[in-house]
Homo-oligomer: A and B are copies of this chain.
Amino acid sequence: MTIEKVSIIVSKGSLDGIYPGLIMANGARAEGIEANLFFTFFGLDAITKKRQGHVKVATVGNPGLHLPTWAGAIPGASWAMTRYFERKMAALDIPPIPEFVRMIADTGAGIYACKATVDLFGLEKNDFVPEMNDILTVGEFYSLAAGGEIVFT
């Protein structure tokens, strides 16, 4: 038995919130599994022209980083941690978000934006990177996801 399709929802707007979904989509394509990425809420940042290149690590409220709150809150902490992560990821051949989204789209994965959030944030099609295939309602997402696994990240 094998997995035939994964539909991955990306809902968070931090680097550590976006990468897991991208890595899972990319890994699925590498195995020949159909993959769709559906960006919603703050996850939309990963596919808007304006914000795609400026996603940061969450340095407060993330005890996994082992930083005291005051350290995570000083100006520049999030920036420094973000650069640190990006360098570490580059060393593992994991590209920055804009290149990674392009690479995943090139493998044939679908890249979608959630209609409710697009309306909530007052965005339109032109605000998105060209890899974005379509803006879908929740109902359209369910149709697309049928026959596979739904993964909410």
Contact = CB atoms under 8 A, between A and B. Distances in A.
Contacts of A58: 61-63
Given A11-B153, A63-B13, A63-B56, A20 B41 contact: yes
A123 to B, nearest CB: 12
A89 to B, nearest CB: 7
Contacts of A89: 120
B150 A14 contact: no
Interface stretch (A70-78, A102-110, A125-133): A70-78
A33 B142 contact: yes
Contacts of A78: 63, 69
A64 B97 CA distance: 14
A6 B143 CA distance: 13
Given A28-B138, A62-B42, A88-B120, A149 B147 contact: no
